[in-house]
Amino acid sequence: MADYYETLGVDRNASDDEIKKAYRKLSRKYHPDIAGPEFEDKFKEVNNAYEVLSNPDKRRMYDSGVDPNNPNAGAGGFSGGFGDMGDVFSTFFGSAFGAGSQGPVPRTQPGRDALASATIDLKTAVFGGTAHVKINTFSLCQECGGSGAQGGAQPITCPDCHGQGFMQKVVRTMLGQMMTSAPCERCEGHGTIISNPCPSCMGHGRVRTTRNVGVNVPAGINDNARLRLASQGEVGEGGGAAGDLYIDIRIKSDKQFTRDGDDLHCWIQVPMSWAVLGHDLTIETFDGKQTVSIPAGCQPEDTVTLKGLGVTNLRNSDERGDIVAHVNVLIPTKLDDEERDLIERFSTLHDADAGHVAQASRPQTGQKKGGFFSKLKDALS
């Protein structure tokens, strides 16, 4: 039976809140879109565990030895119990049974993964580029090369336990005298000792350092994406192999564009006369200045599209989204006498026969709703 508590890294008395927190953290960490497809199984495991432990009935069933995800497998068995029994034995009898399988504890331990975040601007997301992060982790001690011994000397075999890492003792128990073993005190179970520890790392083979890491950001990256740099994480105890470094990417909001998938949206203010007569104007884009052609008769909230000037597609770098410019028509509020005369003359010529006002229960042409604008409003509300 799978150990769901272990999968979520919580203990058996964990509260619902602790379980939820652990799940959120892990499901994010192992999400295949973030961590890569190789984590898909791990991600499923985490979800299975949460499905059971988050449901009080299923959790009770699981605690009694039946896996609700696989109810027949545990029937009559409580296979998970054997692991627990093993622990009970070793607690009672020390390692009397397992002396052969108990070896020295390696001085070198694998390092843990590290997590950092980097903020990039929208232009870097459009074209790709480099993000820089400053991280503070354990890194290899340069002084001893990770051995922990001064001058790069290698640790020597412990004279007390002769490299075994544990000492045998005879103890009295309720079952009579028994041989038991305990970790060697002199070498703390490592089987080796460092007679002259390296002064830089105090024998740990690693030191805390701050370093700058540059990471390649692929074009089209999404906000909150997590990048992985293999073996750039924390160096382990005794100079052990470094874990991985994960970098969460945040994209700064941009003054000129709002991103929607691969498209970039902007809003442009256009004088009434340009909307009526049509006009070519220039806007700033990530590809430099570009011409936007406002067609004659352009209505408020009409859009003009500049093809292929949006965000590079993450999966296909030959493709780019579009720029969608939303037109905001400016109605003049202050007119001098000459302008007023002109508008009045225009009104007489153009609108004298306009007839009755069109009235409807829904927006008509020129007040298009739906699409990106209302999606944006929904997202902000």
For the annotated binding site for Zn(2+), the residues are 141, 144, 158, 161, 184, 187, 198, 201
Q: Residue from 144, 194, 235, 270 that binds Zn ion (CB under 5 A)?
A: 144
Please give the annotated binding residues, written as ranges.
141, 144, 158, 161, 184, 187, 198, 201
Q: Which stretch binds Zn ion (CB under 5 A): 180-188, 233-241, 346-354, 372-380?
A: 180-188
By CB under 5 A, tell whether 184 contacts Zn ion.
Answer: yes
Amino acid identity, position 319: E
Identify the residue among 187, 215, 217, 270 touching Zn ion (CB under 5 A).
Answer: 187
**Pattern 311-340, Zn ion, x by CB under 5 A:** ------------------------------
Report in angstroms how near the CB of residue 181 gets to Zn ion at its nearest.
12
Smallest gap from residue 141 Cβ to Zn ion (A): 3
| C-beta of residue 308 within 8 angstroms of C-beta of residue 264 | no
Q: How many C-beta atoms lie closer than 10 Å to residue 209's C-beta?
A: 14
- The residue (of 132 and 162) whose beta carbon lies closer to Zn ion is 162
| From 181-189, 308-316, 321-329, 344-352, span contacting Zn ion (CB under 5 A) | 181-189
**Of 34 and 144, CB closest to Zn ion:** 144
140 binds Zn ion (CB under 5 A): no
CB 286 within 8 A of CB 126: yes
198 binds Zn ion (CB under 5 A): yes
Residue 26 binds Zn ion, judged by CB under 5 A: no
**Shortest distance (Å) from residue 206 CB to Zn ion:** 8
Q: Which of residues 248-287 bind Zn ion (CB under 5 A)?
A: none
Q: Is 157 in the site for Zn ion (CB under 5 A)?
A: no
Q: Per rule CB under 5 A, is residue 200 in the interface with Zn ion?
A: yes
C-alpha distance from residue 227 to each of 38, 137, 218, 320, 362 (Å): 14, 18, 10, 22, 47
Label the pairing between strands 114-120 and 245-251.
parallel
Q: Is 188 in the site for Zn ion (CB under 5 A)?
A: no
Q: In which region does residue 16 sit, left (phi positive, over 0), alpha (psi from -120 to 50) or beta (all else)?
A: alpha
CA distance 123 to 223: 13
Cα–Cα distance measured from residue 243 to residue 332, given in angstroms and rounded to the nearest whole number = 63
Centre a 10 Å sphere on the Cβ of residue 147 and count the other Cβ atoms it contains: 22
Number of residues that bind Zn ion (CB under 5 A): 12
Q: Quick one: which of 22, 126, 131, 158 contacts Zn ion (CB under 5 A)?
A: 158
Q: Does 161 bind Zn ion (CB under 5 A)?
A: yes
60 binds Zn ion (CB under 5 A): no
Q: Residue 143, interface with Zn ion (CB under 5 A)?
A: yes
Site membership for Zn ion, residue 141 (CB under 5 A): yes
Q: Rounded to the nearest whole angstrom, what is the least distance from the CB of residue 182 to Zn ion in the complex? A: 11
> Which window, 46-54, 131-139, 187-195, 261-269, contacts Zn ion (CB under 5 A)?
187-195
Min dist. Cβ of residue 73 to Zn ion (A):
43
Q: How far is the CB of 89 from Zn ion (least distance, A)?
A: 25
Q: Is residue 235 part of the contact set for Zn ion (CB under 5 A)? A: no
| Contact window for Zn ion (CB under 5 A) among 69-77, 139-147, 280-288, 294-302 | 139-147
Name the minimum Å distance from CB 52 to Zn ion.
43
Q: Up-side HSE of residue 365: CA atoms within 13 Å toward CB?
A: 4
Residues in contact with Zn ion by CB under 5 A are 141, 143-144, 158, 160-161, 184, 186-187, 198, 200-201
